[in-house]
């Protein structure tokens, strides 16, 4: 079992845990038997949901009844104790007993506890929260999504390197194409920090990614670039705006196709295309934010997702480790 990728799992974070977490692990295991799960949480509940669904050679449970609450502030979570399922899962990667850690729990708490336990990658000043977004041609990596409200030019350059390394780990056959999120595409637009970053990346000889300059918010989904870099404030606003727009379109389409007889007939005639549309906007397919910059990657599953979404986050964990993300970042730095 030495070749299995070891994933430390906080089984008690997020809505519907630990059932959702265990169901997600079981679902992922059906298609991928290359992972070993170190599961931290209430052992009685965990065993109830996992018993006989996965061979015991693929998982191990660690009993802990103390958990980080969704209402905890990051400081409260850190003070809650070193025996919480979240802390112990992160400690597992700190001790090199696991390759990567995943939690659907409190985001702020996860970032703080991870920073308390794990070291930064050499030459990286700040970690970043990144995620996958759909575009017309496939997927994009976007960062930072809220870990750092203010960023220096060096931070944004580091994010470009980390984001392109992440993209290459997830999609080994494709080449990263980086752009800076800005208020315009002209070279003179934006604040001094983003203009300085533009100059640095434009002048830097780089075999690891193509630098394509600026990208505006209305171009995020066109697929011309696949790594989008911003500070955490701008990135988080862009993320929430995109999520809200997708939900609005989906809800309005449902109303239009179910509000009248003609709408219902139209939906029946176009059921195949509507299913493709629904699947394309399904947030579960893009679940799994990645906290990068630390010497071990930390994956954050959305607390409100279901077991399918959590399973997709587990797959992100597998691909990150398989793609040697940390090694790629160190080499590219």
Question: In the chain, how many domains are there?
Answer: 2
User: Is the same domain home to 38 and 10?
Assistant: yes
Mean pLDDT of all residues in 242-254: 74
Helices (H), 171-306: 192-203, 232-258, 261-269, 271-280
pLDDT of amino acid 248: 80
Residue 270 pLDDT exceeds 70: no
Q: Give the DSSP letter string of 296-316.
A: S-EEE--TT--HHHHHHHHHH
Q: What is the pLDDT at residue 332?
A: 83
Q: Note whether 226 and 138 are within 8 A (CB).
A: yes
Check residue 239 and give its pLDDT. Answer: 80
Is residue 114 located within the same domain as residue 203?
A: no
- Identify the residue with better confidence: 298 or 273: 298
In a domain, 45, yes or no: yes
Lowest mean pLDDT among 23-37, 86-100, 109-123, 182-196: 182-196
State mean pLDDT over 213-223.
88
- Whether residue 199 lies inside any domain: the answer is yes
Instruction: Kindly indicate the confidence band of residue 74, based on its pLDDT and cuts at 50, 70 and 90.
Output: confident
Of the pLDDT bands very low, low, confident and very high (cuts 50, 70, 90), residue 255 is confident
Same domain, 60 and 146: no
Asked whether residue 319 carries a pLDDT value surpassing 80, the answer given is: yes
Residue 165: domain span = 124-286
Calculate the average pLDDT of the chain.
87
Percent of the chain with pLDDT over 70: 90
* Same-domain check for residues 173 and 157: yes
Please, which residues have CB within 8 angstroms of residue 5's CB and are 6 or more apart in sequence?
A: 34, 35, 36, 99, 100, 317, 318, 321, 322
- Report the pLDDT value the prediction gives residue 58, as an integer from 0 to 100: 95
Instruction: Kindly report the backbone phi and psi dihedral angles of residue 298, in degrees, each rounded to the nearest multiple of 5, phi listed first.
Output: -120, 125
43 burial class (0-12, 13-18, 19+ CB within 10 angstroms)? middle
User: Among 106-115, 163-172, 279-288, 324-333, where is mean pLDDT lowest?
Assistant: 279-288
Whether 163 and 39 map to the same domain: the answer is no
Structure token digits, residue 172: 């080994």
- Are 183 and 148 members of one domain? yes
Same structural domain, 156 and 197: yes
Q: What's the mean pLDDT in 94-99?
A: 95
Residue 93 and residue 141 in one domain = no
Query: Which CATH number do you get for residue 109?
Result: 3.40.718.10
Over residues 110-122, the pLDDT tens digits come to 999 999 999 999 9
Residue 262 lies in a domain: yes
Do the beta carbons of residue 136 and residue 308 sit within 8 Å?
no
Q: Residue 38 pairs with which residues in a beta bridge?
A: 8, 60
Asked if residue 241 and residue 265 are part of one domain, the reply reads: yes
Distance from chain centroid for Cα 92: 20
CA nearest to 19, candidates 46, 1, 38: 46
pLDDT at residue number 25? 96
Window from 117-126, 133-142, 259-268 with minimum mean pLDDT: 259-268
143 and 174 co-located in one domain? yes
90 and 184 assigned to the same domain? no
Identify whether residues 47 and 158 lie together within a single domain: no
Residue 11 lies in a domain: yes
Residue 316 lies in a domain: yes
Cβ(29)–Cβ(57) below 8 Å? no
Q: Domain for residue 7, yes or no?
A: yes
Region 32-45: mean pLDDT is 96
Nearest Cα residue to 312 out of 52, 74, 60, 25: 25
Structural domain includes residue 332: no
Residue 333 lies in a domain: no
């Amino acid at each position: 079992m030495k070749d299995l990728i070891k994933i430390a799992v906080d089984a008690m974070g997020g809505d519907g845990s630990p059932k959702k977490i265990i169901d997600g692990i079981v679902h992922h295991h059906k298609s991928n038997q290359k992972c070993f799960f170190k599961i931290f949480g209430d052992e009685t509940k965990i065993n109830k949901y996992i018993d006989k669904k996965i061979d015991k050679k693929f998982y191990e449970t660690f009993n802990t009844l103390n958990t980080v609450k969704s209402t905890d502030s990051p400081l409260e979570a850190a003070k809650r104790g070193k025996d919480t399922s979240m802390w112990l899962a992160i400690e597992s990667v700190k001790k090199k007993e696991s390759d990567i850690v995943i939690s659907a729990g409190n985001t702020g708490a996860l970032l703080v506890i991870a920073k308390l336990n794990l070291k930064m990658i050499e030459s990286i000043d700040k970690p970043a929260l990144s995620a996958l977004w759909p575009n017309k041609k496939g997927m994009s990596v976007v960062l930072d999504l809220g870990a750092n409200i203010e960023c220096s030019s060096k931070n944004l350059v580091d994010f470009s390197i980390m984001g392109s390394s992440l993209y290459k780990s997830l999609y080994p056959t494709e080449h990263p194409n980086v752009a800076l999120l800005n208020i315009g595409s002209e070279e003179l637009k934006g604040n001094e920090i983003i203009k300085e970053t533009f100059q640095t990346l434009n002048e830097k000889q780089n075999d690891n990614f193509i630098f394509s300059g600026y990208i505006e918010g209305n171009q995020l989904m066109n697929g011309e670039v696949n790594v989008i870099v911003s500070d955490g404030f701008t990135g988080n606003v862009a993320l929430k705006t995109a999520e809200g727009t997708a939900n609005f379109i989906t809800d309005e389409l449902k109303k239009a196709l179910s509000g009248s007889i003609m709408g219902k007939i139209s939906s029946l005639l176009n059921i195949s295309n509507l299913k493709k549309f629904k699947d394309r906007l399904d947030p579960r397919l893009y679940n799994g934010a990645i906290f990068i910059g630390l010497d071990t990657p930390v994956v954050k599953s959305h607390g409100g997702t279901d077991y399918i979404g959590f399973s997709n986050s587990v797959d992100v964990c597998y691909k990150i480790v398989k793609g040697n993300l940390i090694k790629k970042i160190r080499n590219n730095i």
